[in-house]
Amino acid sequence: MGVYQEKPALAPPNSTTGPIAWVRLNLVSTPLNTVMTLIAIYALWQLLPPILNWAIFDANFAGDDAAACSTSSGACWVFVKTRLGFFTYGFYEEAERWRVDVSFLLLALVIVPQFFNNFPYKAWIGLAGLTVMPIVTGILLLGGVFGLPAVETHTWGGLMLTLVLSFVGIVAALPIGVVLALGRRSEMPMIRMVCVTFIEIWRGVPLISVLFMASVMLPLFLPEGWTFEKLLRALIGITLFQSAYMAEVIRGGLQAIPKGQFEAASALGLGYWRSMSLIILPQALKLVIPGIVNTFIALFKDTTLVLIIGLLDILATVQATIVDPAWRGVSTEGYIFAAFCFWVFCFGMSRYSQALERKLHTGHKR
């Protein structure tokens, strides 16, 4: 009587596992695929070594003046190193730069917790970032009170100005966007018409013309004797422009809330404002956080346009230094540095918004 003995399962054939199978499946599965792989490898072989040599192996990192870059043929990162202060702070007075650093730190303290799932008081920190922090950093950067010497806004520049423009733009545009979005869905024809007109006009014109308008036409609109600083004018333009986009994002969230929620709020006897602020908006805003982050990314990139009306954002600081005759031909290095700064912020934010989208996609899936 033979006893049944289980035999171990056979290993899968070599051709379906391991690196060889991976190559067969992903690189040479069909003749066309093979040809494309070969072309891609050839192109990379032609492109990558020169780029890597230029950017890393032959590049100059040591030294602190233009002479240090004449030794080899690669990139001149010394240029970026020596101008880093200007790229970060613009013309902000050296002695007062700690105030900018503290503001950066505050921003980091607000943003970093948002990346962790179970950080204590995460929502409150985020809320403080949208309400208290702008005031604190505003006082810190502007000065003029609490014994801090005043720093004029025309000395602001570099990465700091880029962050100020985009952050103020988004924080100020959010409430206006909420009001516009509610107005667009209002039952009062007059309100609806006004909001639709506002939104469509701002969305239909390029930001550049809005900035032009803010810098050329705003002084004409105001009573005589009223003048704004250039930074404030740019901020007004950006905020109005951004609030129209924000309104459309929030409208998307409002439309996604089932009608039952509105009816339930009415059945409980809540008026319009209370049903909106207690029932509808908390749900709608939570739904559109990824959309808001995407708008923020777009705004962050769009802040570069302020250089056209003469503000010194990070791209403008790079643009201003690469023409320095002491450093010959450093434009590529400067642009790559600026591009890298933007890329880090934008890529990080887009990854965050994608992760958030996946996380939020659980409850409302129908």
Partner 1 sequence: MSQKKTDIATLPKQKTSPLNDPRIRGVIFQALVAILLIWFGWTVFQNTLHNMESRGITTGFAFLDNPAGFGILMTLIEYDETHTYGRTFIVGLLNTLLVAGLGVIFATVLGFVMGIARLSQNWLIAKIATVYVETLRNIPLLLQIFFWYFAILQPLPGPRKSLDAAGVLFVNNRGIYVPEPIPGDGFGFVLIAFFIGIIATIAISRWASKRQEETGQQFPTFTAGLGCILGLPLIMFLIMGAPLTWGIPALKGFNFKGGIQIVPELIALLFALSTYTAAFIAEIVRSGILAVSHGQTEAAESLGIKRSVTLRLVVIPQAMRVIIPPLTSQYLNLVKNSSLATAIGYPDIVSVFMGTTLNQTGQAVEIVAMTMAVYLAISLTLSVIMNWYNKAMSLKER
Residue ranges in contact with partner 1 by CB under 8 A? 25-27, 29, 33, 36-37, 40-41, 44, 187-191, 194, 201, 203-209, 212-213, 216-217, 219-224, 297, 301-302, 304-305, 307-308, 315, 319, 322, 329, 331-332, 335, 338-339, 342-343, 346-347, 350
Which of 33, 131 has the CB closer to partner 1? 33
Which of 246, 248, 214, 220 minimizes the C-alpha distance to 233? 214
Q: Which residue has the tokens 């002084």?
A: 219
User: How many Å from the N-terminal Cα to the C-terminal Cα in the chain?
Assistant: 59
Which of 20, 201 has the CB closer to partner 1? 201
Q: How far is the CB of 317 from partner 1 (least distance, A)?
A: 12
Q: Which residues pair with 76 in a beta bridge?
A: 60
Q: How far is the CB of 248 from partner 1 (least distance, A)?
A: 10
Q: How far is the CB of 315 from partner 1 (least distance, A)?
A: 6
| H helices present in the chain, as ranges | 18-26, 31-52, 77-82, 84-89, 97-111, 122-142, 158-184, 189-204, 207-216, 218-221, 230-256, 259-267, 272-275, 281-287, 289-302, 314-322, 331-360
Distance separating alpha carbons of residues 126 and 133, to the nearest angstrom: 10
Which of 10, 220 has the CB closer to partner 1? 220
Task: Report DSSP letters for 139-205, one per residue.
Answer: HHHH--STTPPP--GGGB-HHHHHHHHHHHHHHHHHHHHHHHHHHHT-S-HHHHHHHHHHHHHHHHS
Which of 116, 226 has the CB closer to partner 1? 226
Which of 156, 337 has the CB closer to partner 1? 337
Q: How far is the CB of 96 from partner 1 (least distance, A)?
A: 28
Q: How far is the CB of 31 from partner 1 (least distance, A)?
A: 12
Which of 61, 343 has the CB closer to partner 1? 343
Q: How far is the CB of 192 from partner 1 (least distance, A)?
A: 10
